[in-house]
Amino acid sequence: MSKPYRLAAKRTDEHETALTLSSTEISKDHFTVIAGPCSVESRSQMMECAHALSEEGITLMRGGAFKPRTSPYSFQGNGEKGLMWMKEAADAYGINTVSEVVDREQIPLVSAYVDMLQVGARNMHNYSLLTALGETSTPVFLKRGMSATYEDLLLSAEYILERGNPNVLLCERGIRTFESYARNTLDIAAVPILQSKTHLPIFVDPSHGVGLREMVPPLVYAALAAGADGVMIEVHPRPEESVSDSRQTIGFETLSLVMERLRILAPTFGRKITTAALV
């Protein structure tokens, strides 16, 4: 039976998509850590983050400049100024960046500053945005909607692939269930299930997935063990001061501990943590 997501579907067991940014390699051999603040707040915050990441050998920094907040009264992001701060910091340390694009008109602006465009959970069903991203060649980090099935996610990826952009990564970031203790229920089973269906890289975001900073490290290790190609983690120089998602944001000390453990664990799962300089 032919799959409804024919381009996203895995054709053979070995069929896997790899992706290379200037300083970052995403492939079956690597476990790629993406880290950075929820929101880009200031130039100095981004410099501190880029420095901490590069000390740990992390080559892909996140940071939201256009923030899709649940409440219209919450901080909505620093916009283009934020993208400039992020790019300046990333360039100073030779690392790559990813940031969210919330509507199709913003694509040229955001892609002028970042190496990868993020589609957030709230926009996974924004087909006009997905189609427009399909007409670029910029890698797209596509997050699973809060109530999206695996097939919904794969069909959203298909919108991008079908327009000719092959550079799509999927991210499990927690779904809504009856459990209300944590912010969301991180669906770790999504990793092997999606991997059985698609050749696209699969990431896990434990920060949004659980919403509690002390639960982030164990879920990073779980993502590696489940076979994920990487994780996205929210990190801030002073997590309690983070203007958004403070409760789920870890500090540099915890990041360092996580990286130390990942360096020990990754080889067991056939992965490398650091990417040799590619440039």
- Dihedral sign, Cα of residue 67, residue 73, residue 79, residue 82: negative
* Nearest residue to ligand PEP on Cβ basis: 120
- Report residue 75: phi and psi, to 5°: -50, 130
Cβ 6 to ligand PEP shortest distance, Å: 26
First to last CA, the chain: 43
Could you give the CA distance from residue 16 to residue 36 in angstroms, rounded to a whole number? 27
- DSSP assignments along 153-200, one per residue: HHHHHHHHHHTT---EEEEE--B--S--SSSSB--TTHHHHHHHHBSS
String marking each residue 67-106 x if it binds ligand PEP according to CB under 6 A: -x-------------------------------x------
Instruction: Check binding of 38 to ligand PEP (CB under 6 A).
Output: yes
String marking each residue 23-62 x if it binds Mn ion according to CB under 5 A: ---------------x------------------------
Cβ 121 to ligand PEP shortest distance, Å: 4
Residues 205 to 264 in contact with ligand PEP, rule: CB under 6 A: 205, 208
> Which of 250, 265, 258, 279 has the alpha carbon at shortest distance from 37?
250
Cβ 37 to Mn ion shortest distance, Å: 8
Could you give the CA distance from residue 16 to residue 130 in angstroms, rounded to a whole number? 22
Cβ 75 to Mn ion shortest distance, Å: 11
- DSSP assignments along 81-140, one per residue: HHHHHHHHHHHHHT-EEEEE--SGGGHHHHHTT-SEEEE-GGGTT-HHHHHHHHTS-S-E
Give residue 126's Cα distance to chain centre.
Answer: 18
Instruction: Check binding of 259 to Mn ion (CB under 5 A).
Output: no
Instruction: Check binding of 117 to Mn ion (CB under 5 A).
Output: no
Count of residues engaged in binding ligand PEP, rule: CB under 6 A: 11
Out of 100, 157, 245, 273, the only residue in the binding site for Mn ion (CB under 5 A) is 245
CB contact set of 105 (below 8 Å; sequence gap of 6+):
none
Cβ 244 to Mn ion shortest distance, Å: 6
Q: Residue 273 carries which DSSP code?
A: S
Instruction: Check binding of 21 to Mn ion (CB under 5 A).
Output: no
Out of 173, 183, 236, 271, the only residue in the binding site for ligand PEP (CB under 6 A) is 173
Residues that bind Mn ion (CB under 5 A): 38, 245
Residues that bind ligand PEP (CB under 6 A): 38, 64, 68, 100, 120-122, 143, 173, 205, 208
